[in-house]
A = this chain, B = another copy of it.
Amino acid sequence: MRRGRVELARFESRVLRGNAAGDPHERLVPVYLPPGYDAEPAHRFPVVFVLAGFTGRGRMLLNDQPWSPALDDRMDALIAAGSPELILVMPDCFTRFGGSQYVDSAATGRYETHLVDELVPWVDERWRTLAARDHRGIAGKSSGGFGALRLGMRHANLFGALACHSGDMLFEYCYQPDFPKACSVLQEAGGIGRFLEAFVAKPQKGKDDFSTLNIVGMAACYSPEAGAELGVGLPFDLATGLPRADVWERWLAFDPLRLLPAHADALGSLRLLHLDCGTRDEFHLHHGARAFTAELRRLAIAHTYEEYADGHMNVSYRYDKSLPALARALSE
């Protein structure tokens, strides 16, 4: 089998420099170059930005795992099986809160801007991409699927195709159920800062630890709040334990389901709009995916949607479907 290769490129971000969370502004960005890249030195290739899920970053997509190929090996195999060749870019938008949701936030940093204004042109300059909207795609899973869907809606001038695997949406179902537990954990920890310290120090993190990190992380992204601890506005009051409706409204403004109506034209202009979800998704994202695609149908926006009889984790096998479809859509 012909093999591509990965360059692990260092990117120094101006946008992220001095970010509030104190995370590095230098990042390592793996870029997969397909077999033809070196073989045909004059050729240009479509490119897809692949966004990691929460607690992840680009390099993790290349991790060695026993029964699931790393993204580069997977792409090699897809190309060997007939997929058009693609460049894959794997950004690092990790933060001390576990992720960035690929949005701009005063508590984390300007990750949307970083991706859109910095990484996109840098990639086009540095590698032989087909540097045009119709040959550039974005994809991801879970929080990466959310990022792909939201950025695709908001930057239709940059991305001509997108794939959203089990992406965060219908926030009432995917986030709200964890609020009471997260509130208890944070109260016991003595606040966000102490929780994060204990979380990092704990070798074996449990289910409640991750649920709490998830809520803290989303709050850092969706509801930064000047004056709050670490600048993070929680969706509940740590003193009383009660829900905060105003903060919740700020979260909902990021829900792809709520963003859809205002971005129908952008979605309708895509060369490929692909969504999927597992029907036993532990974050109940199948409800969101069904509502989102029902609305797409109602608005007659072309898309593909697939459901799988599984859950939220270990679904990278679904790239076997989306990556060749993206490659075809972006190669035309």
Residues of A at the B interface (CB closer than 8 Å) are: 55-57, 59-60, 62-68, 94, 98, 170, 172-174, 176-181, 183-184, 199-200, 203-205, 240-243, 279-280, 284, 286-287, 290-291, 294, 310-311, 313-315, 317
Known: A177-B176, A203-B315. A184 touches B287 (CB 8 A): yes
Q: Which residue of B lies closest to A289 (CB)?
A: B241
10 residue pairs, one from A and one from B, having the closest CB atoms? A177-B177, A180-B284, A173-B180, A241-B287, A59-B64, A63-B63, A55-B66, A60-B64, A203-B314, A204-B310
Contact assessment for A63 and B60 in the assembled complex, using a CB-CB cutoff below 8 Å:
yes
Chain B residues lying within 8 Å of A240, measured Cβ to Cβ, are 290-291, 294
CA–CA, A317 and B64, complex, Å: 20
Residue from B64, B68, B184, B287 within 8 A of A286 (CB atoms): B184
Chain B residues lying within 8 Å of A294, measured Cβ to Cβ, are 240
Chain B CB within 10 Å, residue with most, of A178, A203, A314: A203
Contact assessment for A179 and B173 in the assembled complex, using a CB-CB cutoff below 8 Å:
yes
Contact assessment for B242 and A287 in the assembled complex, using a CB-CB cutoff below 8 Å:
yes
CA–CA, A279 and B240, complex, Å: 14
Chain B residues lying within 8 Å of A317, measured Cβ to Cβ, are 203
Chain B residues lying within 8 Å of A287, measured Cβ to Cβ, are 180, 183-184, 241-242
